[in-house]
């Protein structure tokens, strides 16, 4: 089977910063997004980190980025909803979508917050045991984003007018909601609920230990359950590092980075049996050949290639430049 021509080329960053100088790191992330638009990327995606030294408020960063760019789409991959109130999140998402001119692509996931026992007293001091971290939390968010009634009251009280749905309402935002899933169940659920599907470099080894085949099964399960069938949107996120214009020192460091992470890709990791995709490092022609041979890649036409967390700013410039000038064309974009 031939690969679908690549339609949308995106990149994903964690937005690291120095604890003692967080402004510089956030500014570097905004500059990276601006550069991405200049180079011709279709989308830029932000990871979400809490109580760490990466972006904790991607919605705020997207709002800032929306004022420095005019075309590139802005997404989250992903926002863990265990940290969020769905109604308040819907308000923020709609606000930023309007400010951006309808360019945001919010990706979400469910489950208890990471390191739940350490954070629950600070996050939900009175309601930790009652919080619902199931798919119902996504359903609540989707309902608000879609403009369904949030209360039974609509009207005027004194001099103030009240709406029965989340304001502002941004038409089109609901069609750009994504679910980040790593299991067959998540893939099917996302399809059944009409969302788009984000599949990353981490999947759960449920029926196989072949990463590409696992990811392919998720994509097919999602589309089988989605009203749009084979036209349902899927974005694949792998760590891909082209070296076309890299210096010998950069190539060496990139290869060492990938080699240090390779052992975890051999077998399922931990009780959840998570499988990790190998990082792909090399000239764009070689990367394209490997991707065209990847069973899951052949069935998608959107990517959000993940940038390594710990590289230098000049590394990211080289990688993004090679992605748009060499890798994208090699993938049919």
Structure tokens at 140: 């609540």
pTM of structure = 0.96
SS3 270: coil
CA atoms within 13 A on the CB side of 207: 11
CATH classification of the domain holding 302 = 3.20.20.30
Residue-level pLDDT at 62: 98
In a domain, 3, yes or no: no
What's the mean pLDDT in 314-328? 98
Dihedral angle of Cα 20, 22, 25, 31, to the nearest 10 degrees: -140
108 token code pair: 């979400």
129 lies in some domain: yes
How many CB atoms are closer than 10 A to CB 313? 11
Q: Which two tokens stand for residue 284?
A: 């764009």
Residue 149 located in a structural domain: yes
Count CB neighbours of 292 within 10 A. Answer: 14
Position 100 in a domain: yes
- Could you report the per-residue pLDDT of 97-115, keeping only the tens digit for each? 999 999 999 999 999 999 9
- Please state, for a pLDDT cut of 90, what percent of the chain lies above it: 97
Query: Total structural domains in the chain?
Result: 1
The three-state secondary structure class of 305 is strand
* Residues spanned by the domain of 312: 8-330
């Amino acid at each position: 089977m031939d690969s679908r021509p690549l339609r949308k080329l995106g990149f994903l960053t964690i937005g690291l910063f120095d604890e003692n100088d967080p402004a510089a790191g956030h500014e570097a992330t905004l500059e990276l997004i601006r550069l991405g638009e200049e180079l011709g990327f279709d989308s830029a995606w932000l990871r979400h980190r809490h109580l760490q030294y990466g972006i904790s408020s991607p919605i705020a960063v997207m709002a800032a980025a929306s004022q420095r760019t005019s075309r590139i789409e802005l997404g989250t991959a992903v926002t863990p909803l265990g940290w969020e109130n769905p109604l308040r999140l819907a308000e923020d998402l709609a606000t930023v979508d309007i400010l951006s001119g309808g360019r945001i692509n919010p990706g979400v996931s469910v489950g208890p917050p990471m390191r739940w026992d350490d954070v629950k007293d600070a996050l939900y001091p009175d309601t930790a045991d009652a919080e619902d971290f199931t798919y119902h939390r996504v359903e609540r968010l989707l309902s608000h984003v879609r403009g369904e009634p949030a209360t039974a009251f609509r009207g005027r009280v004194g001099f103030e007018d009240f709406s029965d749905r989340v304001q502002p309402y941004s038409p089109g935002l609901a069609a750009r909601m994504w679910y980040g899933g790593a299991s067959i169940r998540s893939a099917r659920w996302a399809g059944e609920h009409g969302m788009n599907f984000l599949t990353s470099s981490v999947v759960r080894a449920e029926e196989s230990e072949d990463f590409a085949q696992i990811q392919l099964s998720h994509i097919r399960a999602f589309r089988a359950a989605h009203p749009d069938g084979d036209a349902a949107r899927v974005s694949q996120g792998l760590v891909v590092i082209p070296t076309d214009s890299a210096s010998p020192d950069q190539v060496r460091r990139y290869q060492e980075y990938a080699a240090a992470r390779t052992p975890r890709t051999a077998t399922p990791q931990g009780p959840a049996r998570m499988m990790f995709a190998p990082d792909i490092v090399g000239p764009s022609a070689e990367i394209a050949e490997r991707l065209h041979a990847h069973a899951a890649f052949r069935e998608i036409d959107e990517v959000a290639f993940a940038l390594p967390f710990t590289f230098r700013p000049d590394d990211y410039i080289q990688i993004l430049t090679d992605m748009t000038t060499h890798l994208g064309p090699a993938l049919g974009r």
